[in-house]
């Protein structure tokens, strides 16, 4: 890929905000096509294993970012991350359910937030992800627990106005002098 350059002064570039690398729109489009072709060629040479590894690394980084962020998000990140994890590794969720020795219905209910995952599910998920993420350093086995309980805390705090007033009526506070 070759790029032609045109001599311009820094003042011209700054003043007009113009991309001075190209003399014409045709040159710009030609370079864009060459770049796109180079990207396609590289993707064609990338193995399925490398693609899976890259997606798992991306998932790990997203989980880390979520756990380290100060913002609270009411959405169900656990099920979103779990869905990404499953879809990265398996073509069908049913195969993942078989590998974890749980029913596909149970997995579907967890993924659709109709059922809370049980302790045994977390243990199986932890063991499974330990092996899958072995090639990707820095994935902590407790991450699934942390994401799940962070979701629970965020959900509880976001809906305080729905439960707080009623519970405060039931709680007795000692008088302070």
Q: List the domain range (segments joined by +) for residue 128.
A: 48-159
Name the burial class of residue 155, with classes exposed (0-12), middle (13-18) and buried (19+) by CB atoms within 10 angstroms of its CB.
middle
Is pTM, for the whole model, over 0.85? no
Whether 141 is covered by a domain: the verdict is: yes
Domain count, the chain: 2
Per-residue pLDDT at 78:
93
124 and 82 Cβ atoms separated by less than 8 Å: no
Q: What does the pLDDT read at residue 97?
A: 96
Q: Is 4 helix (H, G, I), strand (E, B) or coil?
A: coil
pLDDT per residue as tens digits for the range 14-48: 556 656 677 788 888 888 888 888 888 877 877 88
Q: Report long-range pairs for 65-74 (Cβ below 8 Å, ≥24 apart).
A: 66/147, 66/150, 67/143, 67/146, 67/147, 67/150, 72/153, 72/154, 72/157, 72/158, 73/154, 74/154, 74/155, 74/158
Residue 8 is predicted with a pLDDT of 58
Residues 29 and 52 in one domain: no
How would you class 81 by CB atoms within 10 Å of its CB: exposed for 0-12, middle for 13-18, buried for 19 or more?
A: buried
pLDDT of residue 44: 80
Q: Which residues of the chain have pLDDT under 70?
A: 1-20, 73-74, 177
20 with 36, same domain: the answer is yes
Same domain, 82 and 122: yes
């Amino acid at each position: 890929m070759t790029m032609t350059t045109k001599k311009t002064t820094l003042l011209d570039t700054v003043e007009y905000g113009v991309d001075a690398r190209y003399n014409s729109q045709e040159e710009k489009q030609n370079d864009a096509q060459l770049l796109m072709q180079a990207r396609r060629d590289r993707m064609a040479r990338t193995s399925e294993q490398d693609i899976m590894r890259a997606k798992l690394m991306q998932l790990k980084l997203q989980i880390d970012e979520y756990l380290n962020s100060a913002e609270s998000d009411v959405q169900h990140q656990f099920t979103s991350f779990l869905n990404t994890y499953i879809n990265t590794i398996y073509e069908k969720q049913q195969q993942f359910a078989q590998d974890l020795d749980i029913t596909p219905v149970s997995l579907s209910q967890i993924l659709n937030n109709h059922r809370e995952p049980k302790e045994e599910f977390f243990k199986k998920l932890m063991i499974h992800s330990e092996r899958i993420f072995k090639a990707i350093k820095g994935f902590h086995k407790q991450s699934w627990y942390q994401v799940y309980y962070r979701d629970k805390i965020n959900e509880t705090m976001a809906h305080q106005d729905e439960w707080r007033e009623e519970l405060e009526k039931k709680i007795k506070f000692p008088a302070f002098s």
